[in-house]
Amino acid sequence: MKHAFRMKLRPGSTAEYKRRHDAIWPELAQLLHAAGIYDYSIFLDEESLHLFAVLKLRENHKRAALPHHPVMRRWWDYMRDLMETHPDGRPKEWPLVPMFHLD
């Protein structure tokens, strides 16, 4: 199953966002894989600073449990100065509706 959503960067944070993701913590990558997430990409619209994320979820994924995991909470705290977030540090996400797909 594919899941796509939009997030938003704060002005001036593009390079730092990329730097932090290029050095993603091994324990975070392992957590995402263990939760059933794979083939995860994030794209930037440089004009609007919107991030567009697309990921695939395995059939019995555990994505809903991630907000409660300490590693995920620590990552969100690490990233919150770069992105629009909820008061608890979780990045604001806006779901994207599938409109077209070509295999």
Residues linked to residue 67 through DSSP beta bridges, in sequence order: none
User: Is beta strand 50-57 parallel, antiparallel or unpaired with respect to 2-8?
Assistant: antiparallel
The catalytic position among 3, 21, 50, 86 is 21
71 dihedral zone (left: phi>0; alpha: psi -120 to 50; beta): alpha
Active site residue 101: no
Any idea which residues carry the catalytic annotation? 21
